[in-house]
Amino acid sequence: MTITTASASALVPTASASKYLQQLCKHWEHNLQVEYTPENGTVIFPKDARGADHPGDAVVTFNVAETGLDVRIDASSDEQLEGLKGAVARHLDRFAFREAPLRFDWE
């Protein structure tokens, strides 16, 4: 169950948005609920992931934009949101090592 109380989004500038979106989704589909195409993807992080106890699941959405990768996180708590902002940034930077660190201007 998803209960959204905290959200953030960022447009991450990159010419390889589709490539990174697919790499992230393939990486996470091994142990999370993931749906994706070359243009967009959704990853659900369970409320009890890694021993956490958040009020609800979080949803991370990726969309390829003209100037980069649009990332949106809908979380059930501020703590969950902050943790996922860090996890998404670390994973994206790992896949984008030639461009890293990528710029995340969270709103």
Residue 56's pLDDT is 94
The whole domain housing 28 covers: 6-96
| Residue 27 domain flag | yes
**Residues 15-37: what's their mean pLDDT?**
96
Our count of domains for the chain comes to: 1
Does residue 107 fall inside a structural domain? no
E strand residue ranges, the chain:
6-13, 33-36, 40-45, 58-65, 68-75
Residue-wise pLDDT tens digits, 63-89: 999 999 999 999 999 999 999 999 999
Q: What is the CATH number of the domain that holds 71?
A: 3.30.310.50
* Residue 105 placed within a domain: no
Domain assignment of residue 102, yes or no: no
The sign of the CA dihedral 10, 8, 84, 22 is negative
**Dihedral sign of CA atoms 12, 18, 20, 21 in order:** positive
Beta bridge partners of residue 10, listed in sequence order: 71
Is 53 among the domain residues?
yes
- Does residue 45 sit within a domain? yes
86 three-state secondary structure = helix
Q: Does the structure show a pLDDT above 80 at 2? A: no
Closest CA to 67 of 41, 102, 24: 102
Axis crossing angle, helix 17-28 with helix 78-95, rounded to the nearest 10: 120
